[in-house]
Amino acid sequence: MLVETPTQQIEEAEFAHAFLSFCTLVSLLNGKKMNYPTVFLKILENKKIRELYMEHIHEDSEFAAIRKFIDMEPSITKSKYITKYLNKLKTPLL
């Protein structure tokens, strides 16, 4: 059984807050309520939003930033919209 240190707990809480704040920001920028898969698509589609997300969560790598999003909200991996978007890409995203 792994016990998290207080530092790990603080880091996770800070990331959760930054993640939810960013999702709220994307919703406000688009002027409508958005679910996690839709926010994720906006991050994938728009490089500026992706860079802002990476800066907001203090991550240097696009891969790590996307992975953190998936770790936070694993249900997005089952989204048909995301699957459809990724399948239509002709070039790798990252």
Q: 15-53 pLDDT, tens per residue?
A: 999 999 999 999 999 999 999 999 999 999 999 999 999
Q: So what's the pLDDT on residue 90?
A: 66
> What range defines the domain where residue 45 resides?
11-88
List of residues 6+ apart from 63 with CB closer than 8 A: 94
Domain count, the chain: 1
pLDDT at 2 over 80: no
Report yes or no on 79 lying in a domain: yes
What does the alpha-carbon distance between residue 70 and residue 88 come to, in Å, rounded to a whole number?
Answer: 20
Report yes or no on 1 lying in a domain: no
